[in-house]
Chain A
Amino acid sequence: NAGVMQNPRHLVRRRGQEARLRCSPMKGHSHVYWYRQLPEEGLKFMVYLQKENIIDESGMPKERFSAEFPKEGPSILRIQQVVRGDSAAYFCASSPSGPGGELFFGEGSRLTVL
């Protein structure tokens, strides 16, 4: 059973470009979480999604960031008009059920904004 798959592992963008990060949850998992880790900081919660629904986006910046988890295909974290401060590692996690389910993490996508 493959784990949580994230791609790309490394992404370089220039200021003003768009970044798209993908996350395929483990088979059978319908809950996806995105976290961001800034340099020298812990992982910060961004957004929690179930299939086709955003459940909690309290950690998402109000502008330029969006996330989706369509009925088919991976979850996408999209960052428009990237700035240097967006440089970070973005981690995705999935779980098979609601409250009480263990989170399984991907290896992360490292975004560098030049």
Chain B
Amino acid sequence: GDSVTQMEGPVTLSEEAFLTINCTYTATGYPSLFWYVQYPGEGLQLLLKATKADDKGSNKGFEATYRKETTSFHLEKGSVQVSDSAVYFCALKANFGNEKLTFGTGTRLTIIP
């Protein structure tokens, strides 16, 4: 079945550091890929998405590129801020059937000033 494997946390970085959170997937066909973020005390929010190979999703300085050849969707940001501290979830959705998402385990990111 479909699965998502993402970088284990927690990850701690200094402010303005470069961020990479790895995500790889296993799926049949051509899924859509997502990054969700959960800030403390809040629900999950969609951060960015890509629906086909070589698409790049971007939002709030974060980027991720859908790499079919490596079945990856790594999240990157050039310069993190304290406000980026949150839990990040990689997810996929099969492009048939309903909107069911398959999630990774989440990566807790802490940015220190």
Chain A residues proximal to chain B, CB less than 8 Å:
3-4, 31, 33, 35, 40-45, 48, 55-56, 59, 91, 93, 95, 98-108
Interface of B is mostly: loop
Q: Is there contact, CB below 8 Å, between A45 and B102?
A: yes
Taking CB atoms, residues of chain B closer than 8 Å to A44 are 103
B25-53: CB near A (< 8 Å → 1, else 0) gives 00000000000100001111110000000
Taking CB atoms, residues of chain B closer than 8 Å to A91 are 43-44
Of B41, B105, B106, the residue contacting A107 (CB under 8 A) is B41
Given the complex of chains A and B, what is the CA–CA distance between A35 and B35 in angstroms? 16
Taking CB atoms, residues of chain B closer than 8 Å to A35 are 101, 103
Known contacts A42-B4, A105-B43; A99/B105 CB under 8 A: no
Q: Is there contact, CB below 8 Å, between A40 and B43?
A: no
Pick from A31, A43, A45, A55 the residue with the most CB of B within 10 Å: A43
- Closest residue on chain A to residue B44 by CB atoms: A105
Known contacts A4-B43, A107-B43; A42/B99 CB under 8 A: no
